[in-house]
Structure 1
Amino acid sequence: MKKRREATPKYLAVMSIIWGMLVIIQSAQVMYTPYPFVRVINLIAIIFLSAAIGAFVREIFVLKNKEKI
């Protein structure tokens, strides 16, 4: 069984930027779509993407604190 690699701050920062761009794109789609169903689905997706970004940022702070200790 392979050992899992530990996430680095650089990897987490890149992933946060990618997820952030996805949130921006979906937010624009929510603003300009005329269909309410599409808006609701995209808003739900934006909420989950934002939670993922928050988790990545939290992990960056945890890694920084782990390196100081």
Structure 2
Amino acid sequence: MLPRWATIGLLLLLLGLAGYAAWTGWHAVAGTEIGFHGVVALLLGAFFTLGITGLLVWLMRFSQRRGFDQ
């Protein structure tokens, strides 16, 4: 099993690659622009999606460790 820092590093690398692919794909389409409000909406949506995902994973592990799933 990977150490915690390696796992976090790998996930951050994958997130960066996904962001780069999205940025490149967005700019590859001619004539499209995203305004300031679009960028803010995109970042907030990504932040809250990751936050809710993390919360649900934490709740799942908490429930498993406390024996609530038995």
What TM-score comes out, normalization by structure 2 length? 0.46
Q: Which has the higher contact order (CA 8 A, sep 6+)?
A: 1
Larger radius of gyration: 2
